[in-house]
Amino acid sequence: MAASLQDIQRRIASTSKTRQITSAMQMVSTAKLSQIQRHGGSYTVYSDALHDVVAHLATAHINNVKGTLLEQRRVTKVGFLVISSDRGLVGGYNSTLLKEVMAEITRRQLTTDQVVILAVGGNGADFFKKRGFDVAYEYRGVSDVPTFDEVREIVQMATTMYDNEVFDELNVAYQHYVSRISNEVHLEKMLPVSTDDLVESKDETKFTADYEMEPSAEQILSIVLPQYAESLVYGTILDAKTAEHAASANAMSSATDNAKEIIDSLGLKYNRARQSAITTEITEITGGMAALN
Single pTM value for the model: 0.79
Give the residue extent of every domain in the chain.
Answer: 27-251
Do the beta carbons of residue 71 and residue 194 sit within 8 Å?
A: no
Q: Are strands 115-120 and 182-191 parallel, antiparallel or unpaired?
A: unpaired
- CA triple 19-21-27, angle to 5 deg: 100
Give CA–CA dist 246/252, Å, rounded: 10
Query: How many Å apart are CA 198 and CA 105, to the nearest integer?
Result: 26
pLDDT tens string 265-281: 888 888 888 887 788 77
Q: Per-residue pLDDT tens, the chain, 293 aa: give them.
A: 555 888 888 888 998 999 999 999 989 988 888 888 887 777 777 777 777 777 766 665 555 555 556 677 888 999 999 999 998 888 889 999 999 999 999 999 999 999 999 999 999 999 999 999 999 999 998 888 888 888 888 888 888 898 888 999 999 999 998 888 888 999 988 888 766 666 555 554 454 445 566 666 667 777 777 778 788 888 889 999 999 999 999 899 988 999 999 999 888 888 888 887 788 777 777 777 767 76
Contact 90, 32 (CB under 8 A): no
CATH classification (class only), 27-251: alpha beta
